[in-house]
C-alpha cells in the first residue's frame, strides 16, 4: 500500500462525520463576520483560535526539539516561529482545503476572505483546537495530524525564514542583554482599536519586565505583534543597543 499524501489525515478530520460533537467543527470554521450576519448560527471561532495557537506552539516546539537535538535554543525558537507563523499556517489551511469550508459573512466574502492569510491561519488554529476538544483533550491525537504537515515544510525554507522574524530577533536580544533565570520573555499586549467585523485593526504593545519597548498596528494580531517587535528593534538600534 502506498503511503498517504501528507494532508490526508487532516482532510479526514475536517469532515463533520469524523467528530463526536460536530458543532465543534462548525464553530471552528465560523468567522465572527458570519455570526454578525447570522445571529442564530452559534458561536464564532475566536476562543478556539486562542487554544489552537497554544497547542501549535507546544507541538511545534516539541517537534523541533526532537528533530534537531544539536540546535541551540535561540535557533529552535526562530524555527518554531517560522513553522507556525501566519504565512505557514495559511499555507497549511489551503493545502487541506479549509478555504472551501470557512463560514464567512458576505462582506468578508466580497473582500476575498477565503484567500486572506489572517482568516486562513486563524481557522486552521481553531480546527486544531476543535479536534483536541473532540478527542477529550488528547494532545497525541493532534500530534498525529499536525506532524505530517510539519514534515512537509522543506528544511531550507524553514532555515531561511527563521532568520527574518523580528519577534524572534527581539526575544533573542532580550535574553542576551537582560539575563535572568528563568529567562525573561517579551509580553505582547493586544487591543482591538477599530475596523469592521471582517477586517478589524489591532494595536499591540510589547513589554519586558513591565517596561514598554515598542508598539505596532496591523489588520491581524500576528501582524500587529510583528510590527511591535520591529518597532522595538528600530528603537534599540536608534539608541545604540543593537
Q: What single string gives the DSSP state of each residue in 67-102?
A: H-TTS-HHHHHHHHHHHSSHHHHHHHHHHTTGGGT-
* Catalytic sites, residue numbers: 53, 125
Q: What is the pLDDT of residue 2?
A: 42
Q: What is the pLDDT of residue 7?
A: 47
3-state secondary structure of 40: helix
Residues 58-83: b if buried by 16+ CB within 10 A, e if exposed:
ebbbebbeeeeeeeeeebbbbbbbbb
Is the Cβ–Cβ distance between 235 and 229 less than 8 Å?
no
Q: 159-176: per-residue pLDDT in tens?
A: 877 766 788 889 889 988
Q: What is the pLDDT of residue 239?
A: 87
- Numbered residues of the known binding site for Mg(2+): 49, 122, 125
Residues of the chain scoring pLDDT < 70 = 1-8, 163-164, 196-199
Q: Kindly state the cell numbers that stand for 30.
A: 465560523
Q: What is the pLDDT of residue 155?
A: 87
Q: What is the pLDDT of residue 1?
A: 34
CB atoms within 10 A of CB 217: 16
Q: What is the pLDDT of residue 160?
A: 76
pTM over 0.85? The answer is: no
Q: What is the pLDDT of residue 3?
A: 41
3-state secondary structure of 199: strand
Q: What is the pLDDT of residue 198?
A: 65
Is the Cβ–Cβ distance between 146 and 52 less than 8 Å?
no
Amino acid at each position: 500500500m502506498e503511503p498517504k499524501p501528507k494532508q490526508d489525515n487532516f482532510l479526514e478530520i475536517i469532515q463533520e462525520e469524523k467528530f463526536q460533537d460536530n458543532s465543534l467543527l462548525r464553530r471552528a470554521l465560523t468567522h465572527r463576520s458570519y455570526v454578525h450576519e447570522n445571529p442564530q448560527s452559534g458561536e464564532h471561532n475566536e476562543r478556539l483560535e486562542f487554544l489552537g495557537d497554544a497547542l501549535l506552539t507546544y507541538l511545534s516546539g516539541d517537534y523541533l526539539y526532537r528533530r534537531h537535538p544539536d540546535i541551540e535554543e535561540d535557533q529552535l525558537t526562530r524555527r518554531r516561529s517560522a513553522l507556525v507563523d501566519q504565512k505557514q499556517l495559511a499555507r497549511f489551511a489551503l493545502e487541506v482545503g479549509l478555504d472551501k469550508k470557512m463560514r464567512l459573512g458576505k462582506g468578508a466574502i466580497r473582500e476575498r476572505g477565503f484567500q486572506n492569510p489572517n482568516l486562513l491561519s486563524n481557522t486552521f488554529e481553531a480546527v486544531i483546537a476543535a479536534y483536541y476538544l473532540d478527542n477529550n483533550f488528547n494532545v497525541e491525537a493532534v500530534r498525529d495530524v499536525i506532524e505530517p504537515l510539519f514534515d512537509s515544510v522543506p528544511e531550507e525554507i524553514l532555515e531561511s525564514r527563521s532568520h527574518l522574524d523580528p519577534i524572534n530577533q527581539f526575544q533573542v536580544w532580550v535574553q542576551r542583554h537582560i539575563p535572568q533565570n528563568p529567562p525573561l520573555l517579551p509580553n505582547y499586549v493586544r487591543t482591538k482599536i477599530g475596523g469592521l467585523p471582517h477586517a478589524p485593526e489591532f494595536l499591540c504593545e510589547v513589554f519586558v519586565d513591565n517596561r514598554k519597548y515598542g508598539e505596532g498596528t496591523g489588520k491581524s494580531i500576528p501582524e500587529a505583534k510583528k510590527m511591535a517587535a520591529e518597532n522595538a528593534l528600530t528603537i534599540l538600534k536608534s539608541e545604540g543597543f543593537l
